[in-house]
Amino acid sequence: MEAEIGRGGMGIVYLASDEGLGRKVALKVVSPELGNDLEWVKALRKEAAALASIRSPHVVQVHAFGRHEGACFFVMEYVRGQTVRDILAEHWLHRAQIPLHRALTIISRLAAGLDAVHETGIVHRDLKPDNVVIEEDTGRPVLVDFGLAVTDPTERWAMSGGTPLYMAPEQTHLSAHTTVSPRTDVYAFGCLSFELLCGRPPFDDLVAAQVLHDHAHTSPPAISQLRPELAAADAVFRRALAKDPAERHATCSAFAQALMAALGVTECIDPPPPSPRRERYDSSARRVLVVDDDPAFRRFATRAVQLAFYEESLELVAAATGAEALVSAWRQPPHLVLLDFDMPGLDGVGTLSRLRSLPQGDQARVVVMSAKLGEADRWRFSVLGVGDFVAKPIELEQLIETISSIAARTAWPAQHAPGHDAAAPSSHTAMNAAFASASAAAS
């Protein structure tokens, strides 16, 4: 174990190393008093098996479950990044909203993950921003904590019921006869989605008892009261937050789809018109997209990419606008994106929020480049999973080093063994020539 990274009523989560497979993992150690209850151990083992069967990129993967010296533990995928709670707090401090397209993409992705959870018979019961991490580098939203999840809807109810701000009315009764279902999670997901769009949940009184009363007896505010431009979504939230579970959407994805349809937002941009000829792609190539409205810097950055990957198969596309970049990413998802922040039309934030919604868009590592990007601007990219920034102007060698460093920690497709052409110049000769050419172009 390397460090404690989380603590709650169910136990403590540590960052640990899996020495056998050479990877970082999250080790959740359940509180010892729970580990001594054989019925709890049996229930935890059952839930671990169910969670391990889930295959969704938006649900943390469970690798193993065990018991050591009376304490139960889970070994899980380690997702490095910020929680949605942290991201919401940053936006609140700057009096800003998460970009609408990005918020809807997070909602759509999480809905798919929650549907996968429900298909195994699990009800989460404690959905909240603290339990969702936006992965650093990729922007992938991941549901990471199942501390109160149940496979039996009436089991263990009296011990814990969730977090008041996101609890469904049926969770507030604290009765032995209370039954939870996937529609309980639909309600909590509606509260979480409301907060993603507005910066606050539907009921946010400082007194927990008042919040619980409001969930059970008070009609939630219309989202248009906080954001008039989202009035079309009022009916969708009214249904998701219905007091009677039978009146809610049947699944989280049904809610997400209704929300996007009401707001006239599709998950992906419209497909580009067909090309005169079908493009062919090397499935093993490193696909890199450079986006910058400055032609000189665009040429400079593409040269740096070529030098960073000079011995490898490379598919490099340069785009002058965010719209061009999105069309390119639609046709072939990039592995790495070098993105200018300050562009006319769609700026870097707008471009990336849409790119993340494309198929495989949350698998791309992104480097943001700007001469104007300050510390106050960087938080805007946190919700998009960006941790790498380049300040313009930059020396060619420095940019190559930055790209190479990021490439070293990027999951690339398998490379075919490079061929050796006797007539081709040596690597050192080619590298020196390329440096000379790039330096001349940059001067």
- In this prediction, residue 282 carries a pLDDT of 54
Domain annotation for the chain: domains and CATH numbers: 3-77 (3.30.200.20), 81-262 (1.10.510.10), 286-442 (3.40.50.2300)
- In this prediction, residue 363 carries a pLDDT of 84
- In this prediction, residue 132 carries a pLDDT of 95
Determine the Cα–Cα distance for residues 80 and 23; give it in Å rounded to an integer: 12
Q: What's the pTM? A: 0.74
Three-state DSSP state, 66 = strand
Could you count the other beta carbons within 10 Å of the beta carbon of residue 244?
Answer: 9
Residues forming the active site: 126
Strands 365-370 and 336-340: parallel
Say if residue 28 carries a ligand binding annotation: yes
What pLDDT, in 10s, does the model give residues 147-170?
A: 545 555 445 433 446 789 999 999
For 278, residues 6+ apart whose C-beta sits below 8 A from its C-beta are: none
b/e per residue, 128-157, with b = 16+ CB within 10 A?
A: bbbbbbbbbbbbbbbbbbbbbbbeebeeeb
- In this prediction, residue 274 carries a pLDDT of 43
- In this prediction, residue 251 carries a pLDDT of 98
Given a cut of 70, the residues of the chain with pLDDT beneath it are 9, 33-36, 147-161, 174-178, 266-283, 411-443
Percent of the chain with pLDDT over 70: 82
Three-state DSSP state, 182 = helix
For 347, residues 6+ apart whose C-beta sits below 8 A from its C-beta are: 322, 341
